[in-house]
Amino acid sequence: MNNKNSLVLVTGGTGYLGSHTVVELMNQGYDVLIADNLSNSYAEVVDFIEQIAGKRPGFVAVDLADCDAARAFFAGVGKIDAIIHFAALKAVNESVQNPLLYFRNNLFSLINLLENMHGHNIRSLVFSSSCTVYGQPDILPVSENCPFGKAWSPYGRTKQISEHIIEDSCKKENLNAVSLRYFNPIGAHPSALIGEYPIGTPGNLMPFITQTAAGIQKILHVFGSDYDTPDGTAIRDYIHVMDLANAHIAALEHLLHKKYKESCEVYNIGAGRGYSVLEVIESFEKVSGQKLNYEFAPRRKGDIVKIWADVTRANKELQWCVSRSLDEMTLSAWKWQLTLESRRK
Ligand code: WQD
Whether the predicted pLDDT of 2 surpasses 80: no
Helix 277-288 and helix 205-213, axial crossing angle in degrees, nearest 10: 40
Which among 89, 102, 132 is the best mutation to test ligand 1's pocket, defined by most ligand atoms within 8 Å of the CB? 132
Are 21 and 245 in contact by the 8 Å Cβ rule? The answer is yes
With a 6 A CB cut-off, is 92 part of the ligand 1 pocket?
yes
Q: Where are the alpha helices (DSSP H) in the chain?
A: 16-27, 44-53, 67-76, 92-97, 99-102, 108-119, 154-172, 205-213, 241-256, 277-288, 312-317, 326-344
Per-residue pLDDT tens for 145-201?
A: 999 998 889 999 999 999 999 999 999 888 999 999 999 999 999 999 999 998 889
Interatomic CA distance for residues 229 and 168, integer angstroms: 39
With a 6 A CB cut-off, is 210 part of the ligand 1 pocket?
no
With a 6 A CB cut-off, is 208 part of the ligand 1 pocket?
yes
pLDDT at 199: 84
Active site annotation includes 102: no
pLDDT at 202: 93
Determine how many CB atoms are found less than 10 A away from the CB of residue 68. Answer: 9
Residue from 155, 182, 238, 275 carrying the catalytic annotation: 155
Per-residue pLDDT tens for 283-341?
A: 999 999 999 999 999 999 889 999 999 999 999 999 999 999 999 999 999 999 999 99
Residue nearest atom 7 in ligand 1 by C-alpha distance: 132
Per-residue pLDDT tens for 234-262?
A: 999 999 999 999 999 999 999 999 999 99
pTM, entire model? 0.96
3-state secondary structure of 278: helix
Q: Cα of 205 to ligand 1 centre, how many Å?
A: 6
Q: Which residues pair with 269 in a beta bridge?
A: 182
Q: Cα of 185 to ligand 1 centre, how many Å?
A: 10
Interatomic CA distance for residues 306 and 274, integer angstroms: 8
pLDDT band at 4 (very low <50, low <70, confident <90, very high): low
